[in-house]
Amino acid sequence: MTYRHRRWPASTNPHLLVSTKTAVDPDHPAVSMGTLRQVLPKGLTLSGLRQDRVLNEAHESGDPLKLMRLCGITEKTAMHYVGVAHPERTAKLPR
């Protein structure tokens, strides 16, 4: 995600995967399924890829607010990803 934002900082295309053509045109469709089948390893799903990208961003930033804004996820989901990425930051309540 960081690469995408560095490469196309003004892109308004909401899709995770963009090409040189689709990054600059928000009305252009996302990368085609045919293209995805050619480049994604067999068995990898788009949902799995998205989860991996969100988790990677959680590892990098550790900031749930950034995850919410960048990935369009809820507070609860963002906190879950940060907790998985940084378990040492999770408060342990005494029993």
Q: What is the pLDDT of residue 52?
A: 93
Helix axes 75-85, 46-61, angle to 10 degrees: 70
pLDDT for 35-91, tens place per residue? 777 878 888 888 898 899 999 999 999 999 999 998 999 999 999 999 999 998 877
- The model's pTM is 0.63
Half-sphere exposure of 42 (CA within 13 A, CB side): 0
**What type of residue is 11?**
S
Question: Band of the pLDDT at 20, cuts 50, 70, 90?
Answer: confident
CB–CB of 22/8 below 8 Å? no
